[in-house]
Each structure stands twice: as C-alpha cells, then as structure tokens.
Structure 1
Amino acid sequence: MNIINFVQYFPDEESCEVYLKSYREKAGIRYKTCKSITKHYWFSTGKFFECSCCRRRSSLKSGTVMERSKLSLHVWMTAFMLMAATKKGFSCLEFQRQLGLCRYDTAFRLMHKIRVVMGKRDALYTLTDMVEMDEAYIGIATDKKVKENLKRGKGSQRKASVAVSAESIPLEDLETGKTSRFCGYYKMEVLGKVDGEHAEKFIKKNTSGEIVLFTDKNTAYEHIEDIVETHFTVISGKESTNDTLQWVHKAISNLKRKLLGINHMITYKYLQNYLNEFVYKLNRRYFGDRLFDRLIIAGIYPYVQ
C-alpha cells in the first residue's frame, strides 16, 4: 500500500477500528478461557468483543502486538505502513518524525515490537531441499568500559556472528542448457559462537526434510553429516561467491550496507530484531503492495502457529 492509498483508506481513528475489526472477525476471535474460535458479540459503544460462552471480553488490541499500548490505532496503522513502505526501512529518528511522536524511546519500542512479530512470522517457515549457509560478522556498539579495553586498529571493533542461510534451487534452461540458481527463503540468526554446536542447532531449527547443504570449509561445519543428507564444502573465494554461495553472500552484503547506511549504533541486545526486519522483507520481496496487509496479519496474530 502506498502513501496515497493509505491516506484514503485510513483518514482517522474510526476507519482504523473498522479495518481491524473486520480482520479480526475474518480470522476468528480467540479467548484464553475457551481456547478456540467461538461465537461472539460486538459492543459498538465500548468497542469490544464478548464471547457467547464464557462472557469474556476482548478489545480490538487484545492478543495483538498492540495490546496494552496507549498509542492510538491510527498511529499503529501508520507505523505498519512505514515499516512496509520501503525495502531499506527508516531510521528510528526519521520514524519518530513521520509519526509525530514526542519521545524517541516511544518510536524505538514501537519499531522493535513490529520487528519481533516479523521474526515470529518467519519462524513458521523452514528451509528445504538445497541450502547455502555461511556466517557474517556485524559490527555492534559497545559501552565505554568495553571500548577502553579494546585495542586500536584491527579487531578494535566488537563484532557479532550471524548465521545466514538461503534456499538455492538449481535450474536448467531446456533450450540453451545453461544452469542457474533460484533463490527461495532466507534465515538469519545471531549466534553466540561460531562452532559446531551452534551451527548444528541453527540447522536443526531452520531446516526440514533431507537437505543438501553448501558451506565453506569453516571448522564449525566439520561434523554435520549426521543431520543433513549431503554436505558440500567449497573454499571461500571469488568462485564460491559467484557460484556456490552466491545468494548468502549477496544477502550479507546488502545487510551490512543497510545497517551502516540507516541503522547506527546497533547493540547486541537488539541485533536479532534488525535481522528480523531485513529477512522479513527479503522473503517477501515480490509482494509489492500486499506487504502492508501481510504485516497487519502478523501483528494481529503474532502467536499463531
């Protein structure tokens, strides 16, 4: 959804309430006591649902990422639109300006709440068939005490290790015989340490079925034959970048460019949230105007399994 359409569809708070009510009714209202979709009544005066069985009441925000938030629905809808409007996203300061929020902290927490539900939604999907995997090292902000203990020059910046994987499906042109690779879903996750234990945990969590895994010759991947069908290793270099591990390397390059250009002073605590946003948009790179609607669904039911 572009900005012009958003202004037409959501001019005020009432329009946002009607939109959210219709979406929640379409998916079904869930109550904690009934633990299932039941018949309900809508009270327009109080703007809440009531279960016909347990008589439990539920507001429009209950059970969503907006629960317990004092911000209006119009602000939340505008925030969803901004988060879905561009591929690269906004800095938190620009996000604050666009929403007209008084406090930077409010904008910061709002953005990260949306990034968390992005990660929850992507966690529902796993990688299959042929998968590329590599690790990236992202520079993160450090406090003054840590900076004083770090040496100058090489290695002076603290870095966090990130596991990056992508579905890489080989394709062949029947007329010319040329082969290429089609890129599917991506996964990115902060690793505590690049070793065999963490690598195996990442693979088990984010893949399913019998997969063929492509990696470099990092020692962390030496003993993963038991959890994958086939494991191919290549020497890191120009050939592997342009061929075997092309999609993960492109993703790593774009990720670093995005973080350096827009998001500054990223801390280790929130790094995974930034990865969630990047991967969520990357996996939906062909959605176009539908990205806003998909993000609304993720925000309304962030815990749907």
Structure 2
Amino acid sequence: MNLFTFTAHFGDETACRLHFKEQRDKIGVECQRCGSHQHYWIKSRWSYECKSCRSRTSLRSGTIMQSSNLSFLVWYRAMFFMSATKKGFSAKEMQRQLGLKRYEPVWAMVHKLRKATGNRDARYTLEGMVEMDEGYFTVESSQVEQSKGKRGRGAAGKRNVAVMAESTPLEDSKTGKKSNQVRYFKAKVLQTHQSSEVNETIKQSVDEKTIVFTDKSTSYVDIADYIEMHVTEKSSKESTEETLKWVHIFISNAKRNLLGNYHKIKGKYLQLYLDEFVYKLNRRYFEDRLFERVVIANITGL
C-alpha cells in the first residue's frame, strides 16, 4: 500500500475506526466478564455490548490500543509507516512524520506495536529443518555494566541473540549443486547463555519433530531431548556459508538494519526491535497485505 492509497482509504478518524471494527468483527470479541462471543454493536458509543451479561467492551479494549489517548488515525498512520518500509522508523522519526508535539506517547505506541508483532509470531513454531546459531548485538551499555567491565560473553554493550531459520535443502538435478531455501525466522535475546535457557528457547520456538543444525557449542548439548534430531558441525568457513548460511545472513542484515536506523538501542528493548525486524522479514512477500497484518497484530497481540 502506497501513501496515496492509504490516504484515500484512511483519511479521517471515522474511516480508521470503521476499518478497525471490520477487522475486529472477523476475529471476534470475547466478553471479559462472562467469556461470551455474542455481542450487540452500539454505534453511538463505539462499543460492543454482551448479549449475555450486558457488559460493554470498547473498540480499543483488549487490543494494544487499550488505554491510549492517541486517535485511531494516529495509530493507523504509525502502522502504515511501520509496514511501508523494510528499514523501520525510530520513535523520533515517527513523531516527526506524525506531527506530534510530545515524544513519550509516540515512543510508547511504537514499542507496543513492536511487542504486538512479537506476540503474534510467538504463536507459530518452526518445523522441518532448522538452522540455529547465536550472534552478538551491540547495545547501549548501562552504568552497572560499565562498572563491571566484563569482556567476551556478557560484556558491556553486547547481547547474545539465538537465531533460528527454517531452511529447506535443495539440490539441482542436473548439476548436483546443493543450496538452501529459507522460509521463516525467529530471534530470541538470551540472558544467561546457559543450556537451560537455550533448551527453553528450543521448546518455545521449534516443533518437536524438527531436525536442528548447530555448531558444537556446549550450550546445545541437551536440545536433542526436545526435537527429532540434532545435527552438529564444527564451526568453520564452510559451515557458515553452507550449513548455517541463513542464520548468519540474518545476523548480518539485522545488525546493519538496527545500527543504521536506531544507532543506540538499550539492551532491555533489543527484543522489541528484533520482533519488528523478524515480523516483517517473515512476511517479506506480503507486499500491500502487510499493513492489514499489522492491524491484525494490533488486535490480537496484547
């Protein structure tokens, strides 16, 4: 969706509200009091009324827009900007584009949208054959980290990220040359780098019938207990370019994207930035439909 199309369809507050209601009606509304899914629509109140207990649910309630004072039009414009470019917008640039005076509400809105995309992708697991490795991402050091002065793993200004790529091996029938085709990705910031945290990441991110390829890191010694098969290969130039090709492409592109757009990211927010990057990457072929998917993430990603 380009700017002209967006403006034609969502030029005012009412148009945005009606579209949001249309999308929410497709998904369904659950009464927070009795759990019923049967509601009346009260147009004058822009809210739903439960047919069973008469409890009312506002159009924003139960979505990431809940409790926000920003208009639907502002939210829709933010979702459009987020979906219109692969690179992404910083909160400061979003504030400038939206023409808003205060930075704080925009910052909160952008992070809520990023969290919603992460929650949406968390519903799905990778399957088939999956590459997995870790990369170190530069973040803004806290005063506590600077005082500790660590090096290597856990060093100030570094966060360890587990990256998984759903990869399908392909072989040319004529030449016999092997290559991989990539589908979906996941990225999870690790706090401890201990095997227990890696195991939990595997359980949450990968289907149990999956074959996982990794290097011989000691952090991966137990993941075979949670999947169909675990194949390891010693780290080398060949494994980086072949066996773990896509996770290293992801790490390189993600680092370049985050550094180029946001410059300094606090460690506690790195996962949110990665969530947005992964969400758009996994939907790289959606084109005009990406905006609609972000709207749905807004509704379901609380």
Report the TM range for the smaller structure's normalisation: over 0.9
Cα shift readout 1:184-219 (whole Å, capped 9, x = no counterpart):
211111111222111111111111132211111212
SS in structure 1 of the partner of residue 52 of structure 2? coil
Instruction: Note the 1:279-294 alignment, pairs <5 A.
Output: 279-294=278-293
The question of 1:181 aligning with 2:180 is answered yes
Cα deviation for residue 148 of structure 1 reads 5.1
> Quick one: distance in 1 between partners of 2:53 and 2:249?
52
Unpaired stretches in structure 2, ≥5 consecutive residues: none
1:255-270 maps to which residues of 2 (within 5 A)?
255-270=254-269
Cα-to-partner distance string for 1:61-110 (whole Å, 9 max, x where unaligned): 11111011100000010011111111110122111101112122222111
Change (3 A) 1:179 1:36: farther
Aligned to 1:208: 207
Secondary structure of the residue aligned to 1:288 is coil
Say what the alpha-carbon RMSD is for the aligned residues.
2.0
Equivalent residue, structure 1, for 2:66: 67
Q: SS state of the match for residue 282, structure 1?
A: helix
Q: Is contact 2:36–2:50 with CA below 8 Å preserved after alignment?
A: no
The residue number in structure 2 matching 1:7 is 7
State the AA in 2 paired with 1:16: C
SS at match of 1:134: strand
Q: How does 1:41-190 map to 2 (within 5 A)?
A: 41-144=40-143, 146-147=145-146, 149-150=148-149, 157-190=156-189
SS of the counterpart of 1:184?
A: strand
CA distance in 2 between counterparts of 1:206 and 1:258 reads 23
Task: Quote how far apart the aligned CAs of 1:165 are.
Answer: 0.7
- Is 1:251 the equivalent of 2:250? yes
Instruction: Answer with 279-288 or 234-243: which moved more.
Output: 234-243
Offset at residue 151 of structure 1 (A): 7.7
CA distance in 1, matches of 2:205, 2:150: 36
Task: Provide the rounded CA distance (Å) in 1 between the counterparts of 2:230 and 2:168.
Answer: 15
| Preserved contact between residue 138 and residue 158 of structure 2 (Cα < 8 Å) | yes
SS in 2 for 1:202: helix
Q: Is the 8 A contact 1:129 1:209 kept in 2?
A: no
Which residue of structure 2 aligns with residue 193 of structure 1? 192
Deviation (angstroms), 1:149: 4.9
Q: Secondary structure at the match of 2:180?
A: strand
Bigger mean CA offset, 126-135 vs 230-239: 230-239
Offset from partner CA, 1:142-181 (integer Å, 9 cap, x none): 234543553899x974211111111111123344443321
> Take 2:275 and 2:131, find their aligned partners in 1: how far apart are those partners?
19
TM-score (norm 1): 0.93
How far apart in 1 are the matches of 2:28 and 2:144? 51
Does the 8 Å CA contact 2:137/2:160 hold for their aligned counterparts? Answer: yes
Question: TM-score, normalised on structure 2?
Answer: 0.94
Quote the Cα distance in structure 1 between the aligned partners of 2:133 and 2:187: 10
Gaps of 5+ in 1: none
Separation in 1, partners of 2:226, 2:40: 50
Q: Greater CA deviation, 100-109 or 61-70?
A: 100-109
Residues 120 and 300 of structure 2 are in contact (CA less than 8 Å); yes or no, is this contact kept in structure 1? no
* Stretch of structure 1 that moved more, 43-52 or 11-20: 43-52
Q: CA deviation at 1:227?
A: 2.3
The number of equivalent residue pairs is: 302
Cα separation, 1, equivalents of 2:148 and 2:221: 33
Structure 2 Cα separation of the partners of residues 297 and 22 of structure 1: 11
Distance 1:214 1:16, change over 3 A: same
- Give the secondary-structure state (helix, strand or coil) at the position aligned to 2:169: strand
2:18 aligns with: 18
Question: CA–CA distance in 1 between the matches of 2:160 and 2:150?
Answer: 19
Q: Determine the C-alpha separation between the residues in 1 that align with 2:163 and 2:115.
A: 18
Whole-angstrom distance in 2 between the partners of 1:152 and 1:121: 35
Alpha-carbon deviation of 1:300?
Answer: 1.1
For 2:130, give the aligned amino acid. Answer: V
Contact 1:130 1:168 in 2 (8 A): yes
Provide the identity percentage.
Answer: 49
Alignment match, 1:37: 37
Task: Assess, with a 3 A threshold, how the Cα gap between structure 1 residues 17 and 226 changes in structure 2: closer, same or farther.
Answer: closer
